[in-house]
Structure 1
């Protein structure tokens, strides 16, 4: 009965994370940041609508923000490719992060994607290499990096902007190496067992916090779509707290702490969830 209850809770969280009215990246940008100026293109192939980023101010301080936007209407979803980035999206984020490093700007990333776009064209243009390069770049940045999972954090598409000094999750967001449906299709040869897979993946914010993957969980009540402004205000407070903590450290201290944070993943020092 305990396993059944936990399973149902995890699957409910998956459904809330995917709620069509859930606030998206650009909604948060409009409430938390000011003077947002979007920058476009990867200077190699084109501009990717799924990955949005640019300069902004956070409590009056200049910062760089990058995030995945999914869209709501059919036209907007197509414009943003349902939040699934092509390699040019990750290369655009790399260009913006290079700029942040050059001008000593704190970086905020916001994750909300089913995963990187799996199309043939994306693979031909180096999808895997683009994500790998993003991971390497984020792991070595000297400026503060704070990542927030807003909704669905899926696979390498999410991790491509998820390596950070602090990782924050909304309480009804999910973060996983694969979708529950994908996991169920591999393990049980049917997506109908996605509910069972969602519990096995330990993809909820509370479990990930216990494991040390996530530092902060922002309570969103029954769902951010029901009280978006309250949730955005809570998130802003946590972002400020995280930035204050990181800016009190030297660049060398931040890099070493980030390295140690990453190295404990998969080790005996990482907490286990029953």
Structure 2
């Protein structure tokens, strides 16, 4: 149990800016195993984002509340996934070889492709979440499940790539390198359990939401094939990009499903 607690806090330290006990460090072994808790981090980020929405909605109204909930999610993760999303667009937009794409993604500067991609991504996320929550008056626990589900499913979609592809960089230049070395059935089982439980709980009330798994599966397969074609694998930035794509796709799919429910 102590080992699992240490692994969990390692995941929280690596994937968020939340405070962790001082005895938690960047142990490569624990960091590698922490992938099992990546979707569980989505529960935390989603839950705190919901809390920001709920408080702000009572104070300012839904328009501002949705924006603040997204901002809280970005703050909690330190723009970790958004940075990868922008780097991938810069890399693939400006590079035509594996080496060039990897060099551009490693560059800390933000390019035009990344800026434009972030604008559209945040716009879609805001509008989809705002419209979804305006369909009807949902009880607070349903809205909480919405927030937790779209965060946990996005992280599950991204982490699946590490189970079926190899790490692309040949050096240790990325801080995501340790999660790419190995995995066991515990990482796979943990990721799927924590990734799917919120959705299945929501499906108890609205069974149609399970259909969100279809576009997410398509995203996973398409991303894996694309990254393998150009990079012979994935990088940490690739995972961040898939996570952000998955958040938007989950919200848009929920929106479409709600029109027919």
Relative to the length of structure 1, the TM-score reads: 0.27
Higher relative contact order by CA 8 Å / sep ≥ 6: 1 or 2?
2
- Of Structure 1 and Structure 2, the greater helix share is in 2
- Of Structure 1 and Structure 2, the greater strand share is in 1
